[in-house]
Amino acid sequence: MEDIKVFGLWSSPFSQRVVWTLKLKGVSYEYYDEDLANKSNLLLQYNPIYKKVPVLVHNGKPISESMVIVQYIDETWPQIPLLPQDAYERAKARFWSKFIEEKSMQMMEFFLYDGERQERAIKETLDILRVIENESGLSEKMFICGNTIGLADIALGWVAHTLPVMEEIVGVKFITIDAFPHLHSWVKNFLEIPVIKNNLPPHEKLVEYFRERRKVFLAMASHHHHH
Amino acid sequence: MATNDLKLLSTPSSPFALRVKIALNIKGLDYDNIVETMNPKSDLLLQSNPVYKKIPVLIHGDKPISESAIIVEYIDEVWKNNGTPILPSNAYDCAIARFWVAYIDDKWYNSSRNHLVAQNEESKKANFDQMEEVLLRLEDVLNKYSEGKEFFGGDKIGFLDIGFGSYLSWLRVTEKMIGKKVLDETKTPALVKWAEAFVAHPAVKGNLPEIDKLLEFAKGLVQRMAAAACPK
């Protein structure tokens, strides 16, 4: 009997990557939602380096960093593979997965600020989206690097449903059909995947959560500005 | 002309390019090493890596692959029957190796670089402390996972050995510049032994940059960054 535990946060895009991957593969697990203000002893024991979610614990062995976990799950449970068979295609998929993973925090920065700093952050998000739109092969394929959902799509998934929540609160819209036709289609296709559709945090709850976060971020930004 | 049709776009000072060279050596593969001046960047580089415009890039036939860790995984998969395996055979050990290489490329890369170019003592110390923390953690990892063998990968050098070993020349340059040990046998004895074994390894040996040349390069880099830094 496999013992699989996931320590996550229901609202976290990084946690969701792990949940989606396990669900896609049909793997059962115990889920523990963490209160980040009051981290459990188990979490701190399993991820002493970063003390962050998500963490996967498989038969007592912990793994952290969302995309490392996702690759581990993909390799351990090969059904519904998230990487192509061909080595070059795999390298491309890993490349995009890494690019997206690296840029994700930066893409969210617009949510932390207002005024001029936010304007710069919005431009950065647009630049990053443009690279994905133009270079990642979405013009030829339904998903990044393939016609089925893969590693890079899992990495980008938060853009399909968490980004719109942030956009709603801040009053911007990034992925319009005119500006980003391929990404626009990708969002639709991603959200139509049954496992994804059935494993999204409830929209209203997410809006409420991020509304509160927005207040906290703006207070922090204002404090630094006046320092 | 290389029989496997492999080209590597590299620079002599890059630890990331060094990772790829080591991987190619482990697999016994010939390749054309194309040294990029980076100023200006060649058309081949810009075409092969339009997203980052950085080296290393491995071009296999007409297929460009970027990002050193990804290139190493590619080499390991395509030539899995050559030489010795680079990634561990089981998924958990792979996850551990990938985790630590990502950690190194974040924490070590940033703190060692920032330490080098830091404009004040406070910043230098903070970065040095971070570097020490990385070394202490890697000492733990080495003791825990090598099972008393020479390398992180066991008897043979593997993904994590290459991941951190590629930074050793720069580490030596830092030691020369500050006149102090960074890798210290009183603090991280296992890592000191590991470093000696790594640089002596046949797949690594002939490919390390000359420390004196690297030192000159580093000094030039520091000067340029100091000139570019905006006074607060």
Q: Is the pLDDT of residue B101 over 70?
A: yes
Chain B residues with CB under 8 Å of a chain A CB are: 50-51, 60, 63, 65-67, 70-71, 73-74, 77-78, 91-92, 94-96, 98-99, 102-103, 137
Each residue of B99-136: b (16+ CB within 10 Å) or e? bbbbbbbebbbebbebbbbbeeeeebeebbebbeebbe
Nearest by CB: B63 against A68, A69, A88? A88
Residue B1 pLDDT: 46
For A143, phi and psi rounded to 5 degrees? -125, 170
Check pLDDT > 90 for residue A1. no
The confidence score (pLDDT) of residue A224 equals 74
d(CA B220, CA A215): 45
Question: What are the angstrom distances between the C-alpha of B56 and each of A38, B27, B93?
Answer: 43, 18, 26
Instruction: Assess A123–B contact: CB distance below 8 Å, yes or no.
Output: no
Contacts of A71 in chain B (CB under 8 A): 94-95, 98
DSSP structure class, residue B188? -
User: What proportion of chain A, given as a percentage, has pLDDT over 90?
Assistant: 87
Contact B46, B53 (CB under 8 A): yes
Question: What value of ipTM does the predicted structure carry?
Answer: 0.94
Q: What is the mean pLDDT of residues B115-144?
A: 94
**What is residue A66's three-state secondary structure?**
helix
Q: Is A219 on the interface with B (CB under 8 A)?
A: no
B215-220 mean pLDDT: 94
Q: pLDDT tens digits for A45-92?
A: 888 888 889 999 999 999 999 999 999 999 999 999 999 999 999 999
Look at the block and give the residue holding tokens 């990708």.
A186
pLDDT of residue A75: 97
> Scanning every residue of chain B, which has its alpha carbon at the shortest distance from the alpha carbon of A136?
B51
Helix axes A66-76, B91-103, angle to 10 degrees: 160
d(CA B223, CA B25): 34
Residue B168 has pLDDT above 90, yes or no: yes
In the 8-state DSSP scheme, what is residue A143? B
A4 beta partners: A58
* Rounded Cα gap, residues A197 and A204, in angstroms: 15
